[in-house]
Structure 1
């Protein structure tokens, strides 16, 4: 009878193999495992609800997806394009450098941004394309280059500046891990030594974006 408690694994394997709805398969597996283990339906539902409440912050970013879709549908993207097209001296590289600075500063203050969803797709990428198209239409290759560069800038800003905030999850994890290994490293020290890394990343990326502008002109 002990093996019956593994029924949830069987349900998940079969459900995924048969391409059933993922959420339905997981919930069914959880219910089957709980019932097979002798839990009451009330206790089981209570555990599922508690698990959701404890981890609800993980899925909070999903709220931004419909919001971004709504504002795009009502002209946010076009408004950004129209605004940038009026600024003749603004280039894709300058826009991306400005966003990189914003990304690193917000990371330093612990402000979490879902950059790719909230900024890159609806704002930064269209703005960069609009500034590049002032002098003429863009080829499909150049459009793809701008898309890739815009996405990369968000990743660079987030990756190299995320440890500037002493209470970020990465900093706390490193501090606790080093302490468990017998090395007393405080979150303040990790954040302090992350400053040169963030500055070097900014300077190198700034130069790379300037080279990117020249590449688009060819």
Structure 2
């Protein structure tokens, strides 16, 4: 006979969210209650929590990094980055983002995916620096133009990561491609797939760089 009592934990989650209690507290209490109702003793429940945290500790790094980034922003990281860019005479938004694209593709290609990203670098550093470069060269931007600069900053990070990471053969996407091709009778080594990702990465770099330079020209023509 199936024991449905452990499902009370789901009801506790729904009730806790409905009453707008602290989500972390609700989930923790519900998990403990589920374990105890299922017949686990207190020490076994705590041990299961510890094992789950240890097995997934890499995920917790994100929640450590985000507060650090928030503190850096609170104490003027964006302003310092913008000041640095304003001191460079020839810096433009397009040129700056092209340099970031090179960095993002190279680091992704060697497996260093987490050295940059939307939260880690685009919001606190890249976007403010691109805005500062655009304002230095073309004067004050409209709200729409500023949002476009931010969008290009985010898009550059996505392009660099997406087309750079497949060059690193020890990644899940390469394994997925290999398994799908194997199902159709094409037996390819991960290294071969990674090598053939290089032309795509080069093409992506050239296309995105062209878009960024055209955006620079568009900003330059707006006052004419």
Q: Same fold (TM over 0.5)?
A: yes
Query: Secondary structure in 1 aligned to 2:166?
Result: helix
* Counterparts of 1:18 and 1:197, CA distance in 2: 51
- Residue 196 of structure 2 is matched in structure 1 by 193
* Counterparts of 2:61 and 2:176, CA distance in 1: 22
Deviates more, 1:15-24 or 1:106-115: 15-24
* Counterparts of 1:8 and 1:56, CA distance in 2: 24
* Counterparts of 2:19 and 2:180, CA distance in 1: 41
Runs of 4+ in 1 over 4 A off after TM superposition: 176-183
- Residue 66 of structure 1 is matched in structure 2 by 67
Displacement after TM superposition at 1:154 (Å): 0.8
Residue 82 (1) aligns with residue 83 (2): yes
- Residue 27 of structure 2 is matched in structure 1 by 26
- Residue 47 of structure 2 is matched in structure 1 by 46
- Deviation readout 1:43-86 (Å, 9 max, x if unpaired): 11111110111001012122222222333334332222122112
1:128 to 130, 137, 148: 130
* Counterparts of 2:198 and 2:176, CA distance in 1: 18
Residue 206 (1) aligns with residue 212 (2): no
Contact preservation (8 Å) 2:104, 2:116: no
Contact preservation (8 Å) 1:61, 1:114: no
TM-score with structure 2 length normalisation?
Answer: 0.88
RMSD: 2.0
* Counterparts of 1:33 and 1:173, CA distance in 2: 35
Query: Secondary structure in 1 aligned to 2:112?
Result: coil
Q: 5+ unaligned residues in a row in structure 2: which ranges? A: none
Contact preservation (8 Å) 1:163, 1:171: yes
- Deviation readout 1:96-136 (Å, 9 max, x if unpaired): 11101100000011112341122111211111111111232
Aligned residues: 218
Distance change (3 Å), C-alpha of 1:101 and 1:167: same
* Counterparts of 1:111 and 1:42, CA distance in 2: 38
Distance change (3 Å), C-alpha of 1:180 and 1:39: farther
- Residue 159 of structure 1 is matched in structure 2 by 162
- Residue 2 of structure 1 is matched in structure 2 by 3
Displacement after TM superposition at 1:153 (Å): 0.9
* Counterparts of 2:3 and 2:18, CA distance in 1: 25
- Deviation readout 1:142-178 (Å, 9 max, x if unpaired): 1111111111111111112111111223323444565
Displacement after TM superposition at 1:87 (Å): 2.0
Displacement after TM superposition at 1:16 (Å): 2.4
Q: 5+ unaligned residues in a row in structure 1: which ranges? A: none
Contact preservation (8 Å) 1:128, 1:146: yes
